[in-house]
Amino acid sequence: MNYLLISIVLSVIVSSEAFRVVHNARSLQLSSVRTTHSLVRQSVSLKMMSDATAVVPSPPQEVKSESGLWKAYLKASDVLTTLFPVWTVLFAGIALKRPETFAWFSTKYFTAALGALMLSMGITLTPDDFTRVLQQPGAVFWGFVLCYGLCPLLGVGLGQAFKLPIDLVAGLVLVGSINGGQASNLCTYIAKGDVALSVLMTTVTTIAGIFATPLLCKALLGAVVPVDAVGIAVSCIQVVLAPIVLGMAANKVFPKAVQNVLPATPIIGMISTCLLVASAVAQCAPAILSAGWNLQFPIILLHLIGGVAGYWIPRAFKFTEVQCRTMAIETAMKSSAFGFLLAKLHFKQYATRIPAAVSVVWMALVGAILAVVWRFIPVKDEPAK
């Protein structure tokens, strides 16, 4: 349990810095800025509301002048959502000590919660967002390669280096083969990265995962562990593609209704994600505790090496500092809760779900720590690539 105490301390530090950054950003939004910058910030804020750890956006124009109740909600939402790493570790700690607390959160609720997060992401998207891929094709391409090329190979290499049982290696490869997590958007913001690019890369890897994840698992694990590639693809369509398409349709057909719902999504997303983390950890609690640091280290390294390589590889190809920070955080942070669901549904071996359960905690902490470190390192002015 010592690693949980370390995680809680790190979480408090990270969350305090996140709250300071978000608070300063909200204050700056009240000052005069260039029109184009304001439009981009507003668009990004709306997208980030889909993230469980997203910055709470400015309320719609028509409610900005409402009573103090609205202002109180925004302030409370700011505090609660920027303390997300703390809630993640606390929920994980409770799940380890008393796993029966979350026994009610069964597979159907787990699947529904993930679908709800994808739906909340979908309602912030429009078809025009996908045309922006053409504006930064190099960054999006390398983000895809790092996500689905580097990370799966890291999973294989680390699993073998630490001599993990084949079932745990399979789970580690699965974590490396899934899409980027939505939590990366806030961490990119703190790290002075390109949030719009982060949202775009998350969207691309999420949708591409419908094909990439089952193909990678089959290619890397099919010879040693039975892999239901078709089942993984079907689950990706049901949990990822369908909610995103439905959300985009709702945004197109019922824009006013969507605008009214958006202010509630940060809190809902945060609660949903904490329950997903707790449920995943609770279901594997005995195995996590018995595995100890021999399992913790390769999972930490998967996210940490992914983040470091995700920075220096693009740097070698002359991408800007802002773009490199963005790609690093996108590579380090995976949608581990989704990986847990796939392991539970489509891998017969129980142990394959354990790495994903551990990853849900370390993914958030590694990404947040990288973000805070970069927050204190100035970004030199560079021309965009």
Of 11, 13, 42, nearest to 25 (Cα)? 42
pLDDT computed for residue 150 by the predictor: 96
pLDDT computed for residue 162 by the predictor: 94
Model confidence at 382, pLDDT cuts 50, 70, 90, reads low
Query: How many residues are recorded in the chain?
Result: 385
Model confidence at 244, pLDDT cuts 50, 70, 90, reads confident
HSE on the CB side for 88, CA within 13 Å?
32
Produce one character per residue of 238-264: b if its CB has 16 or more CB atoms within 10 Å, e if not. Answer: ebbbebbbebbebbeeeeeebbeebbe
Judged against a pLDDT cut of 70, whether residue 335 lies above it is answered with yes
Model confidence at 32, pLDDT cuts 50, 70, 90, reads very low
Beta bridge partners of 353: none
- Can you tell me whether residue 334 is helix, strand or coil? strand
Least confident of 19-28, 107-116, 248-257: 19-28
For the segment 118-167, what is each residue's pLDDT rounded down to a tens digit?
Answer: 787 778 777 776 676 677 788 989 999 999 999 999 999 999 999 999 99
- Between residues 19 and 232, which one has the greater pLDDT? 232
Model confidence at 112, pLDDT cuts 50, 70, 90, reads confident
For the segment 275-312, what is each residue's pLDDT rounded down to a tens digit?
Answer: 888 898 898 888 888 878 888 999 999 999 999 999 99
Of 280, 262, 268, nearest to 362 (Cα)? 280
Least confident of 234-243, 265-274, 321-330, 363-372: 265-274
Least confident of 96-100, 114-118, 336-340: 114-118
CB under 8 Å to 181, separation ≥6 — which residues? Answer: 202, 333, 334, 335, 336, 363, 367
pLDDT computed for residue 30 by the predictor: 39
Q: CATH classification of 2-375 is 3.40.50.11540, yes or no?
A: no
Q: How far is CA 61 from CA 36, 65, 69, 260, 261, in A?
A: 18, 8, 16, 11, 14
Structure-token pair, residue 116? 């709800």
What is the DSSP secondary structure assignment for residue 147, as one 8-state letter?
Answer: I
Q: Is there a contact between 141 and 323 (Cβ–Cβ < 8 Å)?
A: no
pLDDT computed for residue 131 by the predictor: 73
DSSP-H helix ranges across 49-150:
68-82, 84-97, 107-122, 127-131, 137-145
Q: How far apart are CA 362 and CA 316, in angstroms?
A: 27
Model confidence at 383, pLDDT cuts 50, 70, 90, reads low
Average pLDDT over residues 203-216: 88
